[in-house]
């Protein structure tokens, strides 16, 4: 459940009815950089996210306030601004509104107050959460309950057309389809998933924020994606997920394509192994799969960074930790670790100290639970 955050003071005496919505962030447990290659991934919606309080406006505008952004923004509905006409979070919001309008929805003027406890740009899908939240609100104020997968596709389009990031479907899908206590095994080619219980007895899933600003995230992400597409095309495959014989990787003419194919091939198999280890509560196997995934993202796919490697190594070396890896696109952001509950205080202290000594940066470590996807809080 979202945290017990209360109605903004300025709205306490509002005459207009106020409705409340919540969109969670997500953490990807395993299957990194696989969604756009058509493999399976295993994300889960987390109990941190974005709360929204909403009331209608007579004006033809969406007026957004956020505790995290001092300036309110107003997005006109007639017409909705073009991609990049606005900047930052207003550009995301304009993207959602533009696509809602294209889908034929009648959009009402609204005032929205946002409060978030999801770190922004940290690999926990703050932007998918924001887009899914606004899209859900737009539909609900038109009296429609949207299809969660269709909504995820809309958010993915916002990223491509308004942000220029050719991201996959995993993030908005996870924000849309979360279930309490569950991760999801999502088939990114067919856009179907099965819920998979993702709690381990005596263990706790933990997020570690490297607090390292992500650089090159958009452009390097698109480059990796291109390398995968080029490798698949060279091998005569529609998607790299279909590669069955790893010997064929050596026939690729470009070392970057080879490295990308190695990562996709091995990570695809790790997802299947991790799902089975999770079902058996086999924490040792699951932990070592997480560690292998990090090594592959660092050495083959080259999407980690020095700070993240220090953080993940410090986590992995602590005796209470079963395994740890970077999560999300990479180039900074967050790691996810599976830690024995009784060792958690010692783990946090040791990792914080090691990380600060080695990098001069402070990590934020917090436990996460799995929650329901975007929706209205009654
Ligand atoms: C980002 C993208 C996702 C996915 C991950 C890497 O979060 O938005 O689609 O590709 O990176 O797994």
Domain ranges for the chain, please list them: 9-194+371-377, 199-367
Give the whole-angstrom CA distance, residue 160 versus residue 254. 27
Mean of pLDDT over the chain: 95
Count of all residues that appear for the chain in the document? 378
Same fold, 9-194+371-377 and 199-367: no
Nearest to 303 by CA among 314, 291, 312, 295: 295
Distance 76 CA to ligand 1 centre (A): 30
What local confidence, expressed as pLDDT, does residue 68 receive?
Answer: 81
Indicate the fold that domain 9-194+371-377 takes in CATH: Ribosomal Protein S5; domain 2 (3.30.230)
Q: Is 171 noted as a catalytic residue in this protein?
A: yes
**Summary count for the chain: helices (H), strands (E):** 9, 12
Q: What is the mean pLDDT of residues 332-341?
A: 97
What local confidence, expressed as pLDDT, does residue 2 receive?
Answer: 47
What local confidence, expressed as pLDDT, does residue 110 receive?
Answer: 98
Q: Is 131 in the pocket of ligand 1 (CB under 6 A)?
A: no
* Burial (Cβ within 10 Å: 0-12, 13-18, ≥19) of residue 174: buried
Cis peptide before 79 (omega within 30 of 0): yes
Q: What is the mean pLDDT of residues 223-243?
A: 97
What local confidence, expressed as pLDDT, does residue 70 receive?
Answer: 82
pLDDT tens readout for residues 140-166: 999 999 999 999 999 999 999 998 888
pLDDT tens readout for residues 248-275: 999 999 999 999 999 999 999 999 999 9
Atom of ligand 1 lying closest to residue 221 CA = 11
What is the best residue among 39, 168, 239 to mutate for testing ligand 1's pocket, by most ligand atoms within 8 Å of CB?
A: 168
pLDDT tens readout for residues 85-96: 998 899 999 999
Give the whole-angstrom CA distance, residue 306 versus residue 303. 10
What local confidence, expressed as pLDDT, does residue 5 receive?
Answer: 63
Q: What percent of the chain has pLDDT over 70?
A: 97
Q: What is the mean pLDDT of residues 336-365?
A: 98
Residue 137's φ and ψ, nearest 5 degrees, are -60, -45
> Under a CB-based contact definition with an 8 Å cutoff, are residues 96 and 134 in contact?
yes
What local confidence, expressed as pLDDT, does residue 215 receive?
Answer: 62
What local confidence, expressed as pLDDT, does residue 232 receive?
Answer: 98
pLDDT tens readout for residues 177-213: 999 999 999 999 999 999 999 999 999 999 999 999 7
Distance 33 CA to ligand 1 centre (A): 6
Return the SS3 of 195: strand
Q: What is the mean pLDDT of residues 38-49?
A: 98
What local confidence, expressed as pLDDT, does residue 217 receive?
Answer: 58
Would you place residue 353 in the very low, low, confident or very high pLDDT band (cuts 50, 70, 90)? very high
pTM (predicted TM-score): 0.96
What local confidence, expressed as pLDDT, does residue 1 receive?
Answer: 43
CATH number for the segment(s) 199-367: 3.30.70.890
């Amino acid at each position: 459940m979202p945290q017990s955050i209360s109605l903004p003071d300025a709205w306490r005496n509002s005459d207009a009815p106020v409705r409340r919505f919540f969109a969670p962030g997500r953490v990807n447990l395993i299957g990194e950089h696989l969604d756009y290659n058509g493999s399976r991934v295993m994300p889960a919606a987390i109990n941190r996210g974005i709360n929204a309080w909403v009331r209608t406006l007579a004006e033809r505008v969406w007026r957004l306030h956020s505790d995290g952004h001092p300036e309110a923004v107003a997005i006109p509905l007639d017409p909705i601004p073009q991609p990049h006409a606005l900047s930052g979070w207003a550009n995301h919001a304009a993207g959602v509104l533009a696509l809602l309008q294209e889908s034929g929805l009648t959009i009402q003027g609204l005032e929205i107050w946002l409060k978030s406890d999801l770190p922004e740009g940290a690999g926990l899908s703050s932007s998918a959460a924001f887009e899914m939240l606004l899209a859900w609100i737009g539909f609900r104020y038109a009296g429609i309950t949207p299809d969660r997968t269709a909504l995820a596709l809309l958010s993915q389009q916002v990223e491509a057309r308004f942000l220029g990031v050719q991201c996959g479907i995993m993030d908005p899908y996870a924000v849309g389809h979360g279930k309490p206590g569950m991760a999801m095994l999502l088939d990114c080619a067919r856009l179907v998933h099965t819920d998979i219980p993702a709690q381990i007895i005596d263990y706790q899933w933990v997020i570690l924020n490297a607090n390292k600003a992500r650089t090159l995230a958009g452009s390097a992400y698109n480059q990796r994606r291109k390398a995968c597409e080029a490798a698949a095309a060279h091998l005569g495959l529609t998607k790299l997920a279909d590669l069955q014989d790893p010997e064929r990787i050596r026939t690729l003419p470009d070392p970057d394509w080879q490295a990308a194919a190695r990562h996709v091939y091995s990570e695809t198999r790790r997802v299947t192994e991790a799902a089975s280890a999770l079902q058996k509560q086999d924490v040792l196997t699951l932990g070592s799969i997480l560690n292998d995934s990090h090594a592959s993202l660092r050495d083959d796919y080259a999407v980690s960074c020095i700070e993240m490697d220090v953080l993940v190594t410090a986590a992995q070396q602590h005796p209470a930790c079963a395994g740890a890896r970077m999560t999300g696109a990479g180039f900074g952001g967050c790691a996810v670790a599976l830690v024995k509950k009784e060792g958690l205080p010692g783990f946090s202290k040791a990792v914080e100290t090691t990380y600060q000594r080695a990098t001069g940066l402070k990590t934020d470590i917090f436990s996460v639970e799995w929650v329901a996807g975007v929706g209205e809080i009654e």
